[in-house]
Amino acid sequence: MNALSQFAPASAEIFLTFAACTVLLVDVFLPDRYRVWSYFLALAAVAGTALVLVATAPAEPVVTLSGAFVADSLSQLLKLFTCAVVAVTFLYAKDYLRARSLFQGEYYVLGLLAMLGIFVMISAHSMLSLYLGLEIMSLSLYAMVAFNRESPLAAEAAMKYFILGAIATGCFLYGTSILYGVTGSLDLGEISRRATALDGLDVHLLVALSFILVGVAFKFGAVPFHMWLPDVYQGAITPVTLFIGTAAKIASLAMIFRVLVDGLGPMHASWADMLAVLAVLSMAVGNVVAIAQTNIKRMLAYSTISHVGFILLGVLAGTTSGYQAAVYYTLAYVIMAAAAFGMIILLSRAGFEAEALEDFRGLNARSPWFAAIMLIVMFSMAGVPPLLGFYAKFSVLAAVIEVGRTWLAIAGVVFSVIGAFYYLRVVKLMYFDEPVEHAPLVAGSDLRLVLSVNGLLVLALGIFPQALLAITAVVR
């Protein structure tokens, strides 16, 4: 492979880097009245990246750039899905930012750079490139959380996120250094081969695994490393919360696949038990604490924690069906979360944030259509058939039963029943309570259209689950 062809599998990342820089440079010289061009350029950058991805997709898995980068079917799937999610996030954010005098190119530039970090994490074949992608994404997200400079709550959330993120990253790097000392390599393929040759109960490997898992669990928001999640979800402006709750979750899934499955797969027996503890704690704390929340963004934060528990169940199964279920659940959750946060943006307006559960009172009287969209999303998150969330939960529970961990499936069902309460509470407020206000919903036609499609997609993929299941079949 010549020097130029080594970069071909990373064409999308290269294009995205130049596109983000272009948006940044153009935005510097744009007058405020033409700021919308930064938005259009950002969307064009995402669309162009997706086209480059499709055009340069390798027929077989390719490891390049001295073993630091891998292009395979999993990376292709997650990157294309990331492009779709980021484009929807940018669209949802436009009117929200404009109404609050926050319509600046920085949001879109930071979003594109965070997307670049996600791409690098997805295709990482080395602990070093994984760390590089993690930092690119994390630093962008720290700045996005503090995007509203006039909000003390946003500044506080950004500081908490930064400090706790730095601690988690330190743990990840410390574990990586021990892993390098034991295996003599940072290449995930080589780490897997040498871990196979070593005793799976080697104390040094177990210590390395423990520290690395702290970093992975933090990025995922699994209990007990979830402390940052509710504060960041509440403190950040809703478009940023939407980005963290959707695109960043795809990066977390990629991180856990690359580190645990590709790199430390021979230690499955060890990390599966650790993930089992994290999964049960996440489902328990997420579902129980969410019941006490009156802020819907905090409620969705704890809901995210509970969903993370289900994703971890799929990964710990350690089988092809388990890995496919984990990917399926993540993609399903991202679709549902995008619609949920999109509804919050729809109900918000200048000077008013629809963050309290009470703000959803009587929504059916104000807009029967969007009340129905929110109902579909809430029922799907609760796991009500025949919606998307039901099949996501079913596939994960079937995977853990298949490997003989029936008690985990029982725990998942029990906590799902508990979690149904706070989802149904939102439905009750929308349909059975009198509205607090009768003002019509004010939103652009593009937001209304995409949000409607987003909600209907939750219904359609539930009625026809094979559409998404066929996509996840690429996972091996």
Q: Identify the pLDDT of residue 1.
A: 52
Q: In sequence order, what DSSP letters do the residues of 183-242 get, joined into one string? A: HS--BHHHHHHHHHHS-TT-HHHHHHHHHHHHHHHHHHT-TTS-THHHHHHHHS-HHHHH
Q: Tell me which residue of 337, 323, 347 sits closest to 396, measured CA to CA.
A: 323
What number of CA atoms fall less than 13 Å from residue 393's CA on the CB side? Answer: 27
**Taking the domains of the chain in order of start, what are their residue ranges?**
5-472
> How high is the mean pLDDT in each 10-residue block of the chain (476 residues)?
74 94 91 87 95 89 87 92 95 89 89 96 93 94 90 90 92 93 90 82 86 91 89 92 93 92 88 93 94 92 94 91 93 94 87 83 89 94 91 93 92 93 93 80 84 94 88 78
Q: Identify the pLDDT of residue 366.
A: 86
Residue 383 to residues 3, 28, 49, 146, 376, Cα–Cα distance (Å): 50, 46, 34, 34, 11
Q: Identify the pLDDT of residue 204.
A: 87
Cβ partners under 8 Å of residue 105, min gap 6 = 23, 24, 26, 27, 28, 30, 35, 38
> How many angstroms separate the CA atoms of 432 and 329, rounded?
31
Give ∠ CA 231-250-166 in degrees, rounded to 5: 45
For tokens 């943006």, the residue is 345
Q: Count H helices, E strands: the chain?
A: 19, 2
Q: Identify the pLDDT of residue 470.
A: 85
Dihedral-angle region of residue 154 (phi above 0 means left; psi in -120 to 50 means alpha; beta otherwise): alpha
Residue 265 to residues 210, 270, 299, 436, Cα–Cα distance (Å): 14, 10, 34, 53
Residue pair 316/276 in contact (Cβ under 8 Å)? The answer is: yes
**Rounded (to 5) percent helix, strand, coil in the chain:** 80, 5, 20
Residue pair 451/307 in contact (Cβ under 8 Å)? The answer is: no
Q: Tell me which residue of 291, 283, 298, 264 sits closest to 222, measured CA to CA.
A: 283
State phi, psi for 265 to the nearest 5 degrees.
Answer: -55, -40
Global pTM? Answer: 0.94
